[in-house]
Amino acid sequence: MPDTKRFIDLLNFIRSETDRHLQKLDFPEEPAFLYDPIRYVLKGKGKGKRLRPLLVHLSGRGFDADPEDLMHAGLAVELLHNFTLVHDDIMDKDDIRHGKPTVHMKYGQAAAILVGDSIFTLGQLNIEQVQTNTIQATHAYNKASLAVCEGQAYDLQFEGDTTVSLDQYLVMISRKTGALLSLCAELGGILGNQSHEVCHKLHTFGLNLGRAFQVQDDILEIFSDEENLGKSLESDVAADKQTVLTISARKHDGWDEIKNLTGDISAKRERMQSFFIETGVEARARQMSSNYITKAMDSLSVFSGEHKRAMEQFTHFVLNRTH
Amino acid sequence: MPDTKRFIDLLNFIRSETDRHLQKLDFPEEPAFLYDPIRYVLKGKGKGKRLRPLLVHLSGRGFDADPEDLMHAGLAVELLHNFTLVHDDIMDKDDIRHGKPTVHMKYGQAAAILVGDSIFTLGQLNIEQVQTNTIQATHAYNKASLAVCEGQAYDLQFEGDTTVSLDQYLVMISRKTGALLSLCAELGGILGNQSHEVCHKLHTFGLNLGRAFQVQDDILEIFSDEENLGKSLESDVAADKQTVLTISARKHDGWDEIKNLTGDISAKRERMQSFFIETGVEARARQMSSNYITKAMDSLSVFSGEHKRAMEQFTHFVLNRTH
């Protein structure tokens, strides 16, 4: 499909430009305590997918936004994302990220806290450089940052709390995953000088994309065949993390028994898969994700022509990452 | 002295207005995991001295800056300061701050990391609200934030490194303590619509005030009679923290013996006092502090009349906190 090829080429182009600009960020040698781990996060091998800058650029191109503005905003959201990963990894006690030791494992916890703080500040130094609607862009950036902190706080607060409802879970993922994707889509509109109404629709698009993404993530955690996605099952289940599946499973007989299974993790995973399928928990979760995708797609009416098509393709690209 | 009374009244007025606005910050109940500790930091008893907002207001009044702008900027620097305290306390493993348990001791480390991140974001949400030279103010705020992170990184990097020179130490305190006070003084000029040249002088004032303050802090740590200042001696000496006194002491015979003394901390402190006095280390440190104060005072030529007098009084107020 030439259309698909053109889209993939576009993604690769934006991604390589983003990486090139990240490589160009000029850090001093000293203090090495701070800048060695910052280089490790931002310039090391095993890079991220740059989904968030991609969304900023695709959204902004739909409104003919200035490419330099989009680059600054794309870097700002990627830096914000990396800041949250570095700090979340400390809080969640995760050892590995993108196949490499996490910052706190490699450089110690004090360094990791400072690295997160500094990468967030680097993000701020980028968002303030956009020339179009600077204050509106900065405000959206800061509101999203606070929402992401709230989302992570809910996530930690909900750990081990088996009274958490599906509504509470949805509030959590709307902040933790939705707020940043909302920001990315909205920044395209802000930098493209769009009305409050259009920006709001873009925000809604990102929010529902984020919800669909997170619900799907919960499903893949249990149902993906890929090793890398299954890796954190043990720690998540051990921590009694709330997912769309475990919350829905609670009202079905037999869940407690499965949840408390010890021993072989693969065997436990298979029992959970069967349980989620037999009780309809998995089907309902897939339906929920599908509903959010539909809502997201509805908001794409603010785009037209090839740009609308690109945003639709991006949505599929994000959500069809693996099965 | 009626002049002094008027100055103290002014400080008390600015401080109470700052506290009133901090109390007015409206946080949601949930997530309690995040907002309970934020309330603990920002609204609890045992408040800070609000030195940084005081400096923003005093500097800005000298240029007839808009009082609302000054209030936003004052809150922004106070929030920035509090964010660094919360994170520094985790990194430095400090248990007590202002006579109360630190955030990570009371609410756990994950909460403390998130609380710092969120308070920093609240600071950003305040600085972006200034109406005069918004982008310049935001840029100064972000540059200072990064410098403070660098200063803390140097501080941690230097721990236990007995090759650190006085020059390296000065770079460290210029960032860790100087950058934030520079920002405060400079914001007064930015919001008062002053030239680049005036803003630069204000920056220099804050930098030298910060250096004097930190050198004095190192001296008071050993020579103050007040319990609260002496309290961290044990942890600092144990961590082999670099201070202006310990760095200068290194070249004198007998320092290693005193440094490695174990047992009664008061006895060790007295031995250190005698050593620093006999070797002239203390006198040189006091001279250094005094030189920075002179440099700071020189930069106050950008003010005139009562405003200049107030800035001079503030300098003395900050530096004469205890003997």
Mean pLDDT for A282-286 is 96
Query: Per mean pLDDT, which range of A112-116, A152-156, B268-272 is the poorest?
Result: B268-272
| Cα–Cα distance measured from residue A128 to residue A146, given in angstroms and rounded to the nearest whole number | 17
| Cα–Cα distance measured from residue B62 to residue B49, given in angstroms and rounded to the nearest whole number | 21
- Tell me the per-residue pLDDT of A130-160, one tens digit each, with 9 for 90 and over: 999 999 999 999 999 999 999 999 999 999 8
Describe the crossing of helices A109-127 and B109-127 by its angle, rounded to 10 degrees: 20
Amino acid at A210: G
Closest-CA residue of A relative to B120 is A117
Between the alpha carbon of residue A193 and those of residues A133, A137, B225, the distances in Å are 7, 11, 61
- Tell me the per-residue pLDDT of A208-267, one tens digit each, with 9 for 90 and over: 999 999 999 999 988 887 654 445 555 555 556 789 999 999 999 999 898 888 888 888
**ipTM at complex level:** 0.94
Residues 6 or more apart in contact with residue B323 via CB below 8 angstroms: B224, B225
Tell me the shortest Cα–Cα distance from B110 to chain A, in angstroms.
Answer: 5
CB-based contact, B111 to chain A, within 8 Å? yes
CB-based contact, A174 to chain B, within 8 Å? no
- Tell me the per-residue pLDDT of B62-103, one tens digit each, with 9 for 90 and over: 999 999 999 999 999 999 999 999 999 999 999 998 889 999
| Cα–Cα distance measured from residue A151 to residue A177, given in angstroms and rounded to the nearest whole number | 8
Query: Residue A24 above 60 pLDDT?
Result: yes
CB-based contact, A276 to chain B, within 8 Å? no
CB contact under 8 A, B117 and A150: no
Judge whether B266 and B234 are in contact, CB under 8 Å: no
Q: Which of A 58-97 lie inside 8 A of B, CB atoms?
A: 83, 87, 90-91
State the DSSP string of B256-268.
HHHHT--S-HHHH
| Cα–Cα distance measured from residue B296 to residue B313, given in angstroms and rounded to the nearest whole number | 12
CB contact under 8 A, B111 and A142: no
Describe the crossing of helices A67-91 and A32-43 by its angle, rounded to 10 degrees: 110
Residues 6 or more apart in contact with residue B209 via CB below 8 angstroms: B178, B181, B185, B292, B293, B296, B315, B318, B319
CB-based contact, A146 to chain B, within 8 Å? yes
Of the candidates A33, A120, A274, the residue with the CA atom closest to the CA atom of residue B141: A120
Q: Tokens at residue A178, please?
A: 């939705």
Give, as one character, the DSSP assignment of residue A39: H
Tell me the shortest Cα–Cα distance from A191 to chain B, in angstroms.
Answer: 16
Contacts of B90 in chain A (CB under 8 A): 109-110, 113
Pick the residue of B146, B164, B172 with the most A CBs within 10 A to test the interface with A by mutation: B146
| Cα–Cα distance measured from residue B167 to residue B155, given in angstroms and rounded to the nearest whole number | 13
Residues 6 or more apart in contact with residue B160 via CB below 8 angstroms: B239, B240
Contacts of B91 in chain A (CB under 8 A): 109-110, 113-114
CB contact under 8 A, A156 and B113: no
Q: Which of A 12-31 lie inside 8 A of B, CB atoms?
A: 30-31
Describe the crossing of helices B134-158 and A134-158 by its angle, rounded to 10 degrees: 40
| Cα–Cα distance measured from residue A77 to residue A183, given in angstroms and rounded to the nearest whole number | 8
Pick the residue of A113, A139, A167, A171 with the most B CBs within 10 A to test the interface with B by mutation: A113
Between the alpha carbon of residue B266 and those of residues B239, B241, B261, the distances in Å are 17, 18, 11
Residues 6 or more apart in contact with residue B109 via CB below 8 angstroms: A90, A91, B90
pTM, two decimals, is: 0.95
Closest-CA residue of A relative to B116 is A117
